[in-house]
């Protein structure tokens, strides 16, 4: 089988990696929902032969699902004869069991907003859609720039919270300044109520009161939402300005927590917050 060599920035350690991809139609496996979204946006969804259990199948196709990070079925993957496996998990990188089994694996970091935008270009290179990848990344950067508020000094303090369904609220997982969600807040001209600390942290009731966010946004990464109303679940924390003034928002949808091209959907919602 004729092969062409692609030099690809893996975005982990910023080291170049040589990846060989068949010159005829590639057979791609995606182990990341964001990567699957990116492949679809680049117009190569038809080349995907399998996805992880967490991915959304492009065009509602019936694709084999390969489990999670820890339980990937190597024999089933081998039967699919993939030409390239794309992953965001470090366990699939150099020395991982997929590479040990002889598969060609490209790994991408989804930690920061800049990583994610570079991933779009890198995935384009990996699948022979270089120009499309650059164009898509450029469009995302331009729209993010256009969404930024012109008066950041008047930005309200926003706390991003990961989905909670039951109540009353006693502790929640929150997005800090270090990860891509915190960077997206900043990019849209909002102030993160968590000004320091790790990218993601669980905070109890006293900590939430001390943060005093003016807006609280719960992010539910599922299309289905069975949560009780926020004003009921947060009522006991009425010392928080967001609760006292009913500035409580709950957004649901699979795109909200996807560090890929669909993050622009969350950016638009954040930019519209008042």
For position 91, what pLDDT does the model report? 60
For position 249, what pLDDT does the model report? 97
User: Whole-angstrom Cα distance, residue 54 to residue 65?
Assistant: 9
For position 148, what pLDDT does the model report? 84
Question: Which residues does 171 contact at the CB level (< 8 Å), separation at least 6?
Answer: 202, 203, 204, 205
Residue 61 burial by CB count (10 A; 0-12/13-18/19+): exposed, middle or buried? exposed
Angle between helices 130-147 and 263-271 (to 10 degrees): 10
* 3-145: CATH superfamily: Nitrogenase molybdenum iron protein domain (3.40.50.1980)
Question: How confident is the chain (274 residues) per 10-residue block, as mean pLDDT?
Answer: 36 40 75 95 96 88 80 87 89 71 91 95 96 98 88 79 85 94 92 94 96 96 91 96 97 94 96 86
Same fold: 3-145 with 152-271: yes
CATH number of 152-271: 3.40.50.1980
Residue 206 burial by CB count (10 A; 0-12/13-18/19+): exposed, middle or buried? exposed
Q: Do 12 and 109 contact (CB within 8 A), yes or no? A: yes
For position 166, what pLDDT does the model report? 77
Per domain, the residue ranges of the chain are 3-145, 152-271
For position 5, what pLDDT does the model report? 36
Question: Which residues does 258 contact at the CB level (< 8 Å), separation at least 6?
Answer: 33, 34, 37, 221
């Amino acid at each position: 089988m004729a092969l062409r060599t692609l030099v690809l920035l893996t975005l982990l350690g910023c080291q170049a990696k040589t990846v060989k991809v068949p010159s005829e139609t590639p057979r791609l496996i995606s182990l990341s929902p964001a990567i699957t979204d990116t492949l679809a946006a680049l117009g190569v969804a038809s080349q995907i032969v399998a996805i992880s259990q967490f991915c959304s199948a492009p065009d509602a196709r019936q694709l084999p699902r390969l489990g999670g990070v820890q339980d990937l079925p190597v024999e089933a993957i081998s039967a699919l004869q993939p030409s390239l496996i794309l992953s965001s998990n470090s366990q699939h990188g150099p020395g991982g069991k997929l590479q040990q089994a002889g598969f060609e694996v490209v790994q991408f970091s989804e930690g920061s907003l800049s990583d994610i935008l570079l991933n779009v270009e890198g995935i384009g290179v990996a699948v022979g859609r270089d120009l499309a990848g650059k164009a898509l990344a450029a469009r995302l950067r331009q729209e993010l720039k256009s969404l930024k508020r012109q008066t950041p000094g008047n930005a309200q303090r926003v706390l991003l919270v990961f989905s909670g369904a039951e109540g009353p609220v006693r502790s929640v997982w929150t997005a800090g300044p270090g990860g891509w969600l915190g960077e997206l807040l900043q990019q849209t001209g909002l102030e993160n109520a968590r000004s320091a600390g790790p990218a993601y942290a669980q905070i109890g009731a006293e900590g939430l009161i001390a943060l005093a966010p003016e807006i609280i946004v719960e992010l539910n990464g599922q299309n289905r939402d069975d949560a009780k109303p926020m004003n009921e679940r947060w009522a006991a924390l009425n010392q928080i300005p967001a609760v006292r003034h009913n500035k409580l928002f709950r957004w649901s949808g699979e795109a909200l927590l996807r560090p890929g091209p669909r993050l622009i959907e969350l950016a638009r919602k954040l930019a519209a917050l008042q």
